[in-house]
Chains A and B, each alone.
Chain A
Amino acid sequence: MLMSFLHPFYLIAAVLLLISLTLLQGLVEQLRNRAKSFFFLTLFIVAVNPLVNHRGTHILFYFRENPVTLEALMNGFLMALSLLAILILFISYNFVLTPGRFLYLFSKILPQTALLAMLTLRFVPLLIRRLDEIKIVQKSKGMTITEGRVKDRAKNGVSLVQILLTWSLEEALQTADSMKSRGYGVTKRSSYERYTFTKNDIISIVLLLVLFAGCLIGLFNGYGNLTLYPDLESTSMGGAEWSVFVLFLLYIGFPLLVEGREQFRWRYLN
């Protein structure tokens, strides 16, 4: 959706809706931390587009004898907004879809891969702790990764990882044996389920599908997309365009409505 509706009004509305969603979810800190890198990435896309792309009829000015066109500027602006919306969406995504839920989703389709991912996920904090211990011990022997030439630091870094490798592979044999003694692979594995499918979920899915289909129909009839070439279209919107816009707003704003309803009920109706 965010990559297809390349129209300034749609995308600005989407960015605003998604920012309010992250704010409502209490992700102010994450948003603030990334604001700077988001800003420069957006600026980069807006700036690069007119420099490499000279298509279009509305020439604004010449930069080193190359025409800078309004179309290219608009194109860069749209692309940047689209990327911005997706990046903001992922802040909220990472908050909602925790690793546990992510693996739960995949354990239905790919149980063995999900188990492998879960084991790997569990080893990562363990290995980071071990790496710290190794670092301290090796530092007393004069091996450091914070000083000296890049070559030596890189060499020391991999030496640390090598110690980690032998230590952990040795230890992991125990994990494997303990899995075997508890009967791994004897029968089909069962899994613990925490999530149930409720009536609300079905209603949400149906609503989202209807909105999605409405948006797609609008898109295929040429709404919600600013024509840049050969002639730059005006950004103003006519009658039918507004109804597609409303569908789009409802689709993007759906999580905001759900989240807002929950918070309202929690704060005011309790």
Chain B
Amino acid sequence: MARSSIYSGLIVTGMLGLLIFSIIYFPEHYLMISFLFIGLTLIPFLLRFEMRKITGKELVLLAMLSAVAAVSRVPFAAFPSIQPTTFVIIVSALVLGAESGFMIGAMAALVSNLFLGQGPWTPWQMYSWGLIGFLAGILRNTWFMKHLWGKALFGLITGFAFGWIMNLWFIIGFLGEITFSSVFAYYATSFYFDLAHAVSNVFFILVFSSGWIKILQRFKRKYGLLAT
């Protein structure tokens, strides 16, 4: 734990340095810097996953959950921004922990984009969904995540946060002048989509989370992952 917090500290300071450096030296290249930023955030997680010795069962479980998260968008194709992908990622992370949560979120984003077509948004989606999984895993043993209302609140906040992060790549790159009013105008247009995402998260968590957590815990035991 001590060593990993040193690493995270280094990464956070490194990122801050990169941000300040980019603002001073490349004020006109926000988008490129932001891609560098996202890339550098993804890399430590992927490297950690690479270095772990992982059994076939764990690998298959992670792949199946990522695929379920990606495919769960299919029955909801008719409604924009209502999809249970975020919900699937949150409950998986609550059962399997932060690192698995991150991988499931990032994989779900990557793979669904391999089918739907990649774009400049792919790393951002990997980042946002991965981060939601990571946070849910980190917070899973805190007192408020033990309560249903705590999980619902987490779903509400992450629903908005996902949309806000996803807005960024567009704003940073293509809205030109980044002023308070232009950013505000853009976020105002996306508000109802973010609201729909957040409210549907809360709804899914309230209705389904306890059942899903029970199912996943049973499979965790069945796959022999009781120790983790």
Contact at A45–B114, with CB atoms within 8 Å?
Answer: no
Residues of A with C-beta under 8 A to B84: 157-158, 161
- Judged by a CB distance under 8 angstroms, whether B74 is at the interface is yes
8 pairs, CB–CB < 8 Å, chain A vs chain B: A4-B28, A52-B181, A79-B175, A120-B111, A121-B114, A124-B112, A154-B82, A173-B222
- Known contacts A113-B49, A131-B71; is-contact A176 B176 (Cβ 8 Å): no
Nearest B residue (CB) for A134: B75
List, in ascending order, chain A residues with CB within 8 A of B208's CB.
Answer: 158, 162
**In the complex, are the beta carbons of A158 and B204 less than 8 A apart?**
yes
**C-alpha gap A172/B46 in the complex (Å):** 23
Enumerate chain A interface residues (CB-CB to B < 8 A): 3-4, 45, 48-49, 51-53, 55, 72, 75-76, 78-80, 82-83, 86-87, 90, 93-94, 97, 99, 102, 110-113, 115-117, 119-121, 123-124, 126-128, 131, 135, 145-146, 150-151, 154-155, 157-158, 160-162, 164-166, 168-169, 172-173, 175-177, 179-180, 184-185
> Chain A: interface secondary structure?
helix
Q: Are B62 and A172 in contact (CB under 8 A)?
A: no
Q: Is B80 interfacial (CB 8 A cutoff)?
A: no
Residues of A within 8 A of B76 (CB): 145, 154, 157
Assess whether B67 is in contact with A124, with CB atoms less than 8 Å apart.
yes
Is the CB–CB distance between A4 and B115 below 8 Å? no
20 further interface pairs, Cβ-Cβ under 8 Å (given A131-B71, A175-B60, A176-B59): A3-B31, A4-B29, A75-B177, A87-B119, A90-B120, A94-B118, A102-B118, A120-B66, A120-B67, A123-B67, A127-B71, A135-B75, A145-B75, A157-B76, A158-B87, A158-B207, A164-B68, A173-B57, A176-B60, A176-B223
- Bound: A126/B54 CA distance, A: 24
Contact A179 B72 (CB under 8 A): no
Contacts of B10 in A (CB 8 A): none
Determine how close the nearest CB of chain B comes to the CB of A106; give it in whole angstroms: 9
- In the complex, how many angstroms separate the beta carbon of A3 from the nearest chain B beta carbon? 5
> Complex formed: what's the CA distance from A79 to B174 in Å?
5
Which of B13-21, B134-142, B148-156, B211-219 interfaces with chain A?
B211-219
Interface of B, secondary structure class, is helix
User: What is the 8 Å Cβ interface bit string for chain B, positions 140-174, against chain A (1 contact, 0 not)?
Assistant: 00000000000000000000000000000000011
- B contact residues, range: 35 or more
CB distance from B86 to the nearest CB of A (A): 12
| Bound form: Cα–Cα A54–B55 in Å | 59
CB distance from A19 to the nearest CB of B (A): 17
Q: Which residue of B lies closest to A4 (CB)?
A: B29
The answer to whether residues A169 and B75 also contact, given A120-B66, A179-B56 and a CB cut-off of 8 A, is no
| The one of B32, B46, B112, B176 that contacts A110, using a Cβ cutoff of 8 Å | B46
* Docked-complex contact A76 and B29, CB < 8 angstroms: no
Please tell me if B70 contacts chain A, counting CB pairs below 8 Å: yes
Given contacts A83-B174, A165-B212, whether A116 and B71 have CB atoms under 8 Å apart is: no
